[in-house]
Each structure stands twice: as structure tokens, then as C-alpha cells.
Structure 1
Amino acid sequence: MAVTFGVLGPVTAATEQGPVPLKGPRQRTVLGRLLIARGRVVPVDRLVDDLWEVPPEGAVGAIRTFVADLRRALEPDRPPRQPPRLLVTEPPGYVLRAAPEAVDAGRFEAAVGEAGRMLAAGLPAPALAALDAALGLWRGPAYADCAGEAWAVAEINRLDELRMLAVERRAEALLALGRPDEAAADLPAHLAAHPLREDAWRLLAVARYRSGRQGDALAALRQARDVLVTELGVDPGPELRRLEADILAQAPHLTPSAAVPSAAAPPAAVPPALD
């Protein structure tokens, strides 16, 4: 019975029969820690240090209990004395043998990468379908149960960066499909949360320009400059400066003569969860 895992929100596990019952925050934290390791062994001592600032008496025994409970939850039909296949003891600790496609973050990352390749190949319609499906995997902040843990910060930040990239690639796909109004409507909320994303400012300015709003496009670029100067003490990069000059000159390349037809058939957007 295959198990799939969710980390794009609270940490979850599920089978084809439904959600796997997880007992409380400590068990979710242990599962999150093993998932972040991506198939590498996590030593017992590391688990103890990661779970407690000051480990209590019997911390190692508590870890063993958490792992035993997780094993029963993840493989409820495993016969007694048969070794586990998923959460495995491997000295000096434990490893969770979950394939990348069994974790929603792995499917999300694969879909964003594939969408980038499709955009580069001039296939914005399937790229948009892939990105919509990928972004739909998010249920909240990544590793929500582990947000305050030092060991989770790097992975949470990496996934957040990928999510921002996905939003921007989605806007790029909409522009390529001749749908600038939709791109222009979606980007302000993204920029309100992430105001230092120069590529998002570029996409917003282009979307507004292609919607026939040259003044609003220039206003977006002025706002980008104000934010960058105020927050970082730097001027916009050469791409934004060049775009401003092109908008003022009404450069022909800013308004492609024909958009890619939006009826292009999308492929399977996101690798499916394992059955």
C-alpha cells in the first residue's frame, strides 16, 4: 500500500484509503524532519537535538517511541516481525524511503521545472496548465508544523522561492497566450508579499502595457525603483531600466503581433501521487 506525503502546508501522510492518523505535533515534527532529509539517514542524536533545545531524560527512548508509532501508522498492515519497508532503521539512525513523486513538494518542483522547459520551447498553454496544477498543491506555508525549527528554514525558504518562481512563470505563460489582463490582475498581490522581485515588476509592467495602460506600466516601474532604493539602497537592474526606455519609445517587440493559441492541449501537468 503506497503512502504519499504532504509538506506544502501542515505535514500529512495518506494512502488510497485516506489520511494516515498522526499523533500530535511531535510525531509530525519527526516525520517532517525525515522528509526534509530526502532519503538520507538522520542520526538519532541529530533527531534528539532537533526536537529539543534541552533534551529530557529518556530522549532517545522517546524518539524510538515516535518512530515505532509512525511505522504502525504508515504501514498498518505490516505483519509482526516483518521489517519495515518505508521508515527504516539504518545506523546510526533512521531513513524514510519515500520517492520524490510520493511527496507533494517533489511533484511541485518537477512541474515547475517542466513548465520552465515548456515556456522555453514556446509551449505556454501546457506550461500554464502545469503551473496551475502545481500551485494548487499548496495548502498553506511549507512544513507549517516545523516553521519555527532551525533545521527546516533552508528547505522552507527553497520551496517558497520555487513558489514565487511558479507564480512568475504563470504570468509569463499568460502573456505569451495574449492574456495580459489576467497577468496584470494576479501580480500585484504577489508583489505586495514579495516586493523585491524585479522579474515580477517587469512582468507587471509588460502586462499593463499590453493591456493598453502605458501610464500604469510606467507607474509600476517607478514603484519598483522606490521599493528597491528604500529597501536595499540600489537602483533597478538593467532589465527594468531597459524596459522603461522601451515603453517610453513604444518599442514594437513589447506587443507581439500574434499570441500563441490558448487551445493548445495541455499534457499531464503534475506527476500524479502514487497509488
Structure 2
Amino acid sequence: MTVGFGLLGPVNLCVDGRRVALPTGRPQLLLAALLMGRGRRVSADRLRGSLWAEPPPSAQVNMRAYVARLRVALGPYRDRLTWVNSGYALRVEPGELDLDRFETDVRDALDASREGRPEQAADLLATGMRRWYGEAAEGLPRYGALGHGLDALDESRAVAVEQYAAACVEAGRTDAAVGALRSLLADQPGRESAWEGLVQALVRSGDRAEAMAALAAANAALLATFGRGAGWVLPAEGPPVGQGSVEAFDLAVGLGPVGAGLLGGDAEFGAGIAPGVGLVGGAVVGQHPLDDHTAGSEPGDRAAQCADGGGGFLVVADLGVGHP
């Protein structure tokens, strides 16, 4: 006999290989809260906070009824759901919960990545991502500690997608990386780390035109979401560089040669400052880490950085050109 539990999508229960029709609504929330406990006791107070935004006076009585219905659904495994010290615990054996299998995939992938095996890391993460069938406990309301826990699970899935993309880039599978990140960004357009990963993947693929387009899309999405643009710029060669880096500042204020071929920013405006210098939205003068570097700058350098009059842009240069 076997039993299986699912949290990575709609909450589900399988008994002896057969999907069991669970009672809808709060009984499923109760099962989700118990599964998040990983076999440990979950106090009755915590369970009430997970089942209702404002528990009614009948909450304890209702919860006992939900427990009874879950025990019926568990069938021959009903004894696994027990009352323990003013709380409930649901015993889950290793390998029975899809979340446990996903987390094992991620751990094994990180080990493979650290050991210089990006192909295996990508394959393991792909296996882990296929365990998901939607949001964690999809379709259920999120209250209290359970809601926070489910939000954290969804975030772990997004992080795994980014790790998968990074492993694919290292393994030379840039098309797979780009596809995964575009899908993630379709759901989370304000996810800056995914935009940066997408630009990096496109750069590694050799398609800098698409990388430029992705950078422009990132700025637009982040401005719409947070009121600021990306925190990095695309040099003429190599991966994105943080706007707050000393390298970006040195080149922007002319401490080294700057050349043509600006990627990103407003090239037409930048041409009025120096060849290869442009503007990237997102850093308001007076609030950006680069301002720390301007204290000892010559007046002309400060004017170059602030040439837009403090309208929310950072002047950057063709960062692909080295300087002494």
C-alpha cells in the first residue's frame, strides 16, 4: 500500500495509486497546513489562523469536523492524522510528499553545480520544476502562517527556474535558459534577477540585439512595477554591469577612453556628453551609490554624471572599453 501527497499545485492525495476526491475548501487548507508541518505537531491556534482570516466562534468545532473528513479520505492511513498536545500532526514518510522530492532535486543540483557539472545540475532542476502543476496549493485562499509558507514555496520555485537558467547557460544550453526565463517573466514581470539572467543568457548566446531589447523591456517593467529602472547596464562586451560599480562610474565620467557602440540608454542624448556615453533610467542623482564617488571629481565629471538635471538617469559609458 502507498500514499502520496501533493502541494506543488492543487492540494492532492493519492491512496494506493488512486487520486482521492478531497472535500473542497477548508478541509484542503487543513491538509495543506498539516503537510507544511512536515510531520510535526501544528498547534490548533496556528491551524485556526491558517483556515480563517478571522476565526469564528465555531472554529474549533468546525476544525474537528474537517479532521474527521480528512481521516475518511486517508482511508487505511487515517491513523496517521493524530491529536498531539493541543494540536494535530500528519505523519508523512520520506518520498511521499512532492515538496520533499522537489527540494531533494534542488539540493542535488546545487551539489552538481558546485562540483562543475552544469549539465547534470540543469537536468536535476528540470526534473524538480516538472513536479509543479501550478502555484503551491493553487486555488486556495492564503491566511496566516500557511499563507506565508505557500508564498515562500512559490518563491523557491522561481529561484529554481533562475538556477536552472544559470546552469543551462554554463552548459551551453542558452535557448533553454532564455525560454525558461521568458516564461517566468511573463508571470512576474517585476522580477529583476530574472531580467538580469535573461540579458546574460542572450549575451552568452551571441544575440546582443535581443539582449538590448531585453534590457529595454526590463527597464520598462521595473519602472512600471517599482518606479525605477534596472540596477545594471549592458556593456559593449561581456555581461551586465551594476550601475553602482566603480567601473561604471570610472568610464561614465571619462577616466578612461570611451568608444562607439553604446548598448542601452539614450545614445542620442549621450552623444552630447561624450562618444559612447548614454543614459539608463533608474538612478536618481543624490540617491545612487555612485554619488559617493563624485565627491572628489572635477566639476566637468560631476556635470557629466548629472547632465540630465537629476531627472532619474545615470550616465554610463561603453563599458566594454578598458581604461588604464
User: Fold conserved (TM > 0.5)?
Assistant: yes
User: Once the two structures are superposed, what CA deviation does each residue of 1:51-93 show, in whole Å capped at 9, x if it has no partner?
Assistant: 3435254x43332232233223224277xxxxx2x21111212
TM-score normalised to structure 1 length? 0.76
Matches of 1:179 and 1:51 in 2, distance apart? 44
3-state SS, counterpart of residue 5 of structure 1: strand
| Aligned-pair CA distance for 1:158 | 0.9
Is the 1:101–1:107 Cα contact (8 Å) retained in structure 2? yes
| Aligned-pair CA distance for 1:31 | 0.9
| Aligned-pair CA distance for 1:236 | 3.5
Structure 2 residue aligned with 1:261: none
Greater shift, 193-202 or 86-95, is seen at 193-202
Structure 2 residue aligned with 1:142: 136
1:218–1:2 CA distance, 2 compared to 1 (3 A) = same
Structure 1 residue aligned with 2:199: 205
Structure 2 residue aligned with 1:60: 60
Equivalenced residues, count: 244
1:178 aligned to 159, 172, 181, which one?
172
Matches of 1:138 and 1:151 in 2, distance apart? 21
Is the 1:202–1:240 Cα contact (8 Å) retained in structure 2? no
Structure 2 residue aligned with 1:11: 11
User: What is the alpha-carbon root mean square deviation over aligned residues?
Assistant: 2.9
Is the 1:202–1:243 Cα contact (8 Å) retained in structure 2? no
3-state SS, counterpart of residue 14 of structure 2: strand
3-state SS, counterpart of residue 13 of structure 1: strand
Structure 2 residue aligned with 1:167: 161
Matches of 1:182 and 1:43 in 2, distance apart? 44
Structure 2 residue aligned with 1:243: 239
Greater shift, 200-209 or 239-248, is seen at 239-248
Is the 1:100–1:106 Cα contact (8 Å) retained in structure 2? yes
Q: Which amino acid aligns with 2:173?
A: R
| Aligned-pair CA distance for 1:28 | 1.3
Structure 2 residue aligned with 1:127: 121
Matches within 5 A, 1:183-202: 183-202=177-196
Is the 1:225–1:236 Cα contact (8 Å) retained in structure 2? yes
Matches of 1:36 and 1:88 in 2, distance apart? 15
Matches of 1:165 and 1:215 in 2, distance apart? 26
Structure 2 residue aligned with 1:51: 51
User: Once the two structures are superposed, what CA deviation does each residue of 1:106-161 show, in whole Å capped at 9, x if it has no partner?
Assistant: 22122123212212221122212211111111111111243343333211211111
Where structure 2 has 5 or more consecutive residues not aligned to the other structure, the ranges are: 242-247, 249-262, 264-317
2:146 aligned to 137, 143, 152, which one?
152
1:225 aligned to 219, 222, 226, which one?
219
Matches of 2:197 and 2:173 in 1, distance apart? 12
Q: Which amino acid aligns with 1:167?
A: V
Structure with the higher helix share, 1 or 2:
1
Matches of 2:173 and 2:145 in 1, distance apart? 41
Where structure 1 has 5 or more consecutive residues not aligned to the other structure, the ranges are: 79-83, 252-275
TM-score normalised to structure 2 length? 0.65
Percent same amino acid at aligned positions? 37
Higher relative contact order structure (alpha carbons within 8 Å, sequence separation ≥ 6): 1
Is the 1:107–1:134 Cα contact (8 Å) retained in structure 2? yes
Is the 2:177–2:201 Cα contact (8 Å) retained in structure 1? yes
Is the 1:128–1:170 Cα contact (8 Å) retained in structure 2? yes
1:198–1:118 CA distance, 2 compared to 1 (3 A) = farther
Structure 1 residue aligned with 2:23: 23
Matches of 1:48 and 1:200 in 2, distance apart? 36
Greater shift, 223-232 or 93-102, is seen at 223-232
Matches of 1:238 and 1:117 in 2, distance apart? 29
State the structure with more CA Rg: 2
2:106 aligned to 99, 108, 112, which one?
112
3-state SS, counterpart of residue 143 of structure 1: coil
Is the 1:25–1:145 Cα contact (8 Å) retained in structure 2? no
Matches of 1:232 and 1:108 in 2, distance apart? 31
